[in-house]
Structure 1
Amino acid sequence: MSLLSETHAGLASLLETAGFPRVEPAILQPASLFLDLIGEDIRGRMFLTAGPDGEEMCLRPDYTIPVCRAHLDGEDARTPARYSYVGKVFRQRSQGAPEFLQAGVECFGRDDLEAADAEILALGLDSVRHLGVDDADVRIGDEGLFRAVLEALCPPAAWSRRLGELFGETDRLEAALAVMGASEETGSALPATPTLARVLEGLDPAAAKGAVAELLGLTGLRPVGGRSAADIAERLLEQASLSAQDPATVRAAELLSRYLKISGTPRAALAEIEAFAAAQGLDLGTAPARFAARLEALEARGIAADGMSFSASFGRRLDYYTGFVFEIHSSSRPHAGHIVGGGRYDRLLSLLGASEPIPATGFSIWLDRI
């Protein structure tokens, strides 16, 4: 066990007593784990080296992915499991030391999703109280609700994929919706579409692939970056789709923008979302009922719904999150950033190689912000 201060050792004990045994994944991790899941943007923040066989390695920049990987390497990844950690992570940062302490928990395999989410948030609040934060400000969001609205509006597949990837990055999402809702009638400038993309528009994927392959053969050009003719055709068709405008796409952009402005106490926001969906004839499936069930589970644990704030646009910036998300701030230190961040990330273990979906939820505590 690493050397911890008395306060942090007490936090480790609190998490273990709550039923989350402590684990300590290796500090040196394959860099591809993070680059594949988070993207090349994180490369500049990692400390990189090479392993004996030339594999690119890094000092772990967080715990969640290594804990998930270690769980999958166990005997039966389908068996429900809980883990906690308190230790060092390593990131190059513009402010703060590059080596700092992080704590948190991960919970895998529970089918009672809303009850598990409530337990995780309750434990996060217990943790910050242990650390002396007595003015917790809880902010929540729900990617499941956003996805339900997106699915009900049925935008073109390229837009659905693009908007789903941007959820949680408010400025970029708003900019994308502005382009999606642009039209000649509104006087807004549409993005230029490459000529080849316009030519390919309307072709089925197989025909588009054949056309690109023939063009490459005639010109003698070679694809760059390891991309195949199919990759190039898919990208060009996506560009054409993103540039195409029709009344349904413009309406979808306008309604999504309206939805993302909904905020307030969770129950009031849920009522507004349900009224919005009814007025627009949108079927949101089970998402509103699951949101309400989560609020009931939180209140059963003594967490008042009216004591939290909800924003329809709030999401975690990592695209493996799938549902409930939250942050805990200190209301007396609003500029310090979130102290705790977490939520539901049911996609992550599948992305790491799980043979079947495994429910997952958890949180991380940024100890150097306290």
Structure 2
Amino acid sequence: MLPAASAPLPPRDPSSLEDALIACFETAGFSRHDPPILHPADAFLDLSGESIRRRMYLTADADGRELCLRPDITIPVARAVIAERMPLPARVSYLGPVFRFRGEGSGEFRQAGVESFGRTDIEAADAEMVALGLNACALYGVPQPEIRLGDVGLFAALLEALPLAPALRRRLLKDFGQSRLDADLGRQKARPQESASAHAGVLAALTGADPEAARALITDLLSIAGISTVGGRTVSEIAERFLEQSSLEAGAGLSGETGEILSRYLAISGTPDEASARMRALAADAGIDLSAALDTFDRRTGFLTAFAVNLSDVRFSSAFGRPLDYYSGMVFELHDTSGRTDGPLVAGGRYDKLLARLGAETSVPGVGLAVWVERLAALALAPFPAAVEGAR
């Protein structure tokens, strides 16, 4: 997977490195696509999650329709696959600017990446993404990044196997990857001793009401108050949140036993093989069936080995997710082990429901990755260690 030791060192200027990266993707069978920069905002607001929606750059057209500068390129590529009726399987690469408010530094930065749609050999496609991410890091002179691995699909399978109310199941799955699960579990455990909610009157009025009538009531009240969005949420999303909260306030919370199973699951970490053994032991102890999801997990581990990924370098955590709502399976990030840069160098995962949520007639398997080329370039342009300089 990595270049031979005798191979020349890669070019060290950012433009040449980007060209080499795109060439690497094209050699792997991913044809380049360049989607527009300006897009309807609703797709990102609905699908990307609060971590991005709070940082989007929004505007409007002459008719008042909300638009945004693309905060990522996965959704624009997915929309293009649908609009252009690309034959499946489709393998697409990209390189260009994305726009997110970051607090520090420019809100415009460059990303490269690949998206694979329509492959049915799920585990092999997942492993290929991790290998392509490692190749991208190696191209920039980072041959052994830290590999963080998680699995949204496994957590979803666990939630389905547990006796949870639908509202709580949706809440926990939505908060996976948003760093809110500890708060969710703590809130549920404390619920019997909690004082009345700040919205107890409204929530009590909604309890047991017809869902559609309750949703219409909340929507009307917000509209009368002149509220259209709060924190990036639409009126419809605010109404849905009130209904979900009323269900939870009505007692649809966690039992002590179920909370303990979730806490034990979220504490599991290690190499993929170690984690698999611990998750199977937990499932057996709890009397729940996670065999299908864990078999998929183990097959992917086998393909990681086939793609020359060193499993001892992989750190799986059952609690690890990524803050994008459209992920549905494996997620991963590659980080600089020396901590010379903040945030991931490469990140990606599986999103099998994304195309259907964007309007495709059927669900289409999908998996992809994004490369923070400017972070990698900063590492590539840093002075070489003395031992490497002496060998040049």
Residues 109-118 or 297-306, more deviating: 297-306
Match for residue 38 of structure 2?
28
* Cα deviation code 1:259-305 (max 9, x no counterpart): 11111111111101110110011111410100000000110111122
Question: In the alignment, is residue 83 of structure 1 matched against residue 92 of structure 2?
Answer: yes
5+ long unaligned stretches in structure 2: 1-12, 230-235, 377-392
Structure 1's 36 and 148: CA in aligned 2 closer, same or farther, altered over 3 A?
closer
Residues 139-148 or 328-337, more deviating: 328-337
After superposition, residues 253-292 of structure 1 pair within 5 angstroms as 253-292=259-298
* Cα deviation code 1:62-102 (max 9, x no counterpart): 2111111111111356x210001122222222223222211
Alignment-mate amino acid for residue 35 of structure 2: P
Instruction: Give, in angstroms, the shift of residue 36 of structure 1.
Output: 2.7
Alignment-mate amino acid for residue 65 of structure 1: I
Question: In the alignment, is residue 103 of structure 1 matched against residue 112 of structure 2?
Answer: yes
Instruction: Give, in angstroms, the shift of residue 208 of structure 1.
Output: 6.2
Match for residue 345 of structure 2?
339
Match for residue 47 of structure 2?
37
2:154 and 2:102 map into 1 onto residues whose CA distance is 33
The correspondence for 2:155, drawn from 123, 146, 149, is: 146
CA contact (8 A) 1:192 1:243 kept: no
After superposition, residues 5-16 of structure 1 pair within 5 angstroms as 5-16=15-26
- Give TM-score scaled by structure 1 length: 0.86
Alignment-mate amino acid for residue 181 of structure 1: K
5+ long unaligned stretches in structure 1: none
- Give TM-score scaled by structure 2 length: 0.82
How many corresponding residue pairs? 357
Match for residue 60 of structure 1?
70
1:310 and 1:161 map into 2 onto residues whose CA distance is 23
Question: In the alignment, is residue 124 of structure 1 matched against residue 133 of structure 2?
Answer: yes
Alignment-mate amino acid for residue 75 of structure 1: R
Residues 103-112 or 246-255, more deviating: 246-255
Alignment-mate amino acid for residue 109 of structure 2: F
Does the residue aligned with 2:356 lie in a helix, a strand or coil?
Answer: helix
1:300 and 1:348 map into 2 onto residues whose CA distance is 28
Match for residue 359 of structure 2?
353
Residues 293-302 or 278-287, more deviating: 278-287
Residues 174-183 or 231-240, more deviating: 231-240
Alignment-mate amino acid for residue 179 of structure 1: R
* Amino-acid identity (%): 47
Match for residue 248 of structure 2?
242
* Cα deviation code 1:135-166 (max 9, x no counterpart): 31101001111111111112111110111110
Match for residue 181 of structure 2?
173
CA contact (8 A) 1:178 1:253 kept: no
1:161 and 1:194 map into 2 onto residues whose CA distance is 21
Does the residue aligned with 2:31 lie in a helix, a strand or coil?
Answer: coil
Residues 35-44 or 130-139, more deviating: 35-44
1:40 and 1:236 map into 2 onto residues whose CA distance is 17
CA contact (8 A) 2:271 2:316 kept: yes
CA contact (8 A) 1:201 1:241 kept: yes
Structure 1's 125 and 201: CA in aligned 2 closer, same or farther, altered over 3 A?
same
The correspondence for 1:160, drawn from 161, 169, 174, is: 169
Structure 1's 326 and 332: CA in aligned 2 closer, same or farther, altered over 3 A?
same
* Cα deviation code 1:312-367 (max 9, x no counterpart): 10011111100101000110126521100101011211111111001000000111
2:298 and 2:157 map into 1 onto residues whose CA distance is 15
Structure 1's 39 and 140: CA in aligned 2 closer, same or farther, altered over 3 A?
closer
Alignment-mate amino acid for residue 24 of structure 2: L
Does the residue aligned with 2:112 lie in a helix, a strand or coil?
Answer: strand
CA contact (8 A) 1:193 1:240 kept: no
Residues 89-98 or 286-295, more deviating: 89-98
Structure 1's 251 and 87: CA in aligned 2 closer, same or farther, altered over 3 A?
same
Does the residue aligned with 1:62 lie in a helix, a strand or coil?
Answer: coil
Does the residue aligned with 2:279 lie in a helix, a strand or coil?
Answer: helix
CA contact (8 A) 2:52 2:100 kept: no
Match for residue 364 of structure 1?
370
